[in-house]
Amino acid sequence: MNPRYQKLYGNHGEFTMLNLNPRQQQILERIQSVGELKITDLKQQFDVTDMTIRRDLEKLELTGDVRRTFGGVVWIGKDIALQIRSEVMLEEKIRIGKKAAQCIQSGESIFIDGGSTTLQLARSLQAMTDITVVTNALNVAYELQHKQIPVILTGGMLREATSSLVGPITSQILSTMVFDRIFLGASGFTLEHGFSNTNLYEAEIKRLAVKQSKEAYIVMDHTKLGKKVLFSFAEVKQVQHLIIDEPDSQTMLEECREAGMNVIMC
């Protein structure tokens, strides 16, 4: 994040800028990391008054990322628009998508969820590939519609921020299926919190997909390592494969290997 500004997503798709001072930016990043903070702790950390912290939290609530509570604040994780996320770490996501496509075998039934990295997987699949794809992502279905690959699009409630279908209808459909492989994106990953997502409804779909799969793949770029966002959807032991670009430090990835996860770097 820029140390002075936080982007806001407007009601009509515009992006405006909210000026944050360094303390407010630190508070925002801290909330994103731990999920919840208390006013008393923030007062002590920054050595300011109760009223100053309350004004800071009022301003941060305007970002849509946090919500004030009685005596504190929680992270609610407003998504950055999909078209904006798709441009971040693009080369790395393309490589991850190509590597993921190579893991799929003929005759398999797979699930691909929504996201900017899973979209690159869909783009990497060859036309007329002998597989069946189930997806809750409109952009993935759109990418595959001219490739003569059978696609089952789940029903559900549309989340505009990620072009994904979620909710009880989606869950009901997925609960009747079993997948050879699933490919999911993640907003964050720590060893103790597992793989996590900023949105409750999307996390529920990911959690169900993991349950219904023989092999689960997480596809994400290395900037998600060490980030703990609000809703965990899979523990390390529930994911067999992680496809990721090479980070500066591989300590966490080595610990994943020690836990039995197959880490594929590209």
Average pLDDT, the chain: 87
* pTM beyond cutoff 0.75: no
CA–CA gap between residue 207 and residue 151 (Å, rounded): 21
pLDDT above 60 (res 262): yes
CA–CA gap between residue 157 and residue 119 (Å, rounded): 20
Residue 83 confidence (pLDDT): 53
Residue 132 confidence (pLDDT): 97
Residue range 191-224, pLDDT digits in tens: 999 999 988 899 999 999 999 999 999 999 998 9
Residue 14 confidence (pLDDT): 41
In the sheet that holds 241-244, the strands lie side by side as: 151-153, 132-135, 109-112, 179-184, 213-219, 241-244, 262-265
Residue 202 confidence (pLDDT): 93
Residue 245 confidence (pLDDT): 94
Say what percent of the chain tops pLDDT 70: 88
> Which whole number is the average pLDDT over 108-113?
98
Residue 3 confidence (pLDDT): 41
**Coil, strand, or helix at residue 40?**
helix
Q: Indicate the burial class of 13 (C-beta count within 10 angstroms; 0-12, 13-18, 19 or more).
A: exposed
Residue 150 or 230, more confident: 150
Q: How many CB atoms lie within 10 A of CB 113?
A: 26
User: Residue 54: which pLDDT band, with cuts at 50, 70 and 90?
Assistant: very high
> Which whole number is the average pLDDT over 151-155?
96
User: Residue 254: which pLDDT band, with cuts at 50, 70 and 90?
Assistant: very high
Q: HSE (CB half, 13 Å, CA atoms) of 233?
A: 25
Residue range 3-36, pLDDT digits in tens: 444 444 444 434 445 688 989 988 988 887 677 7
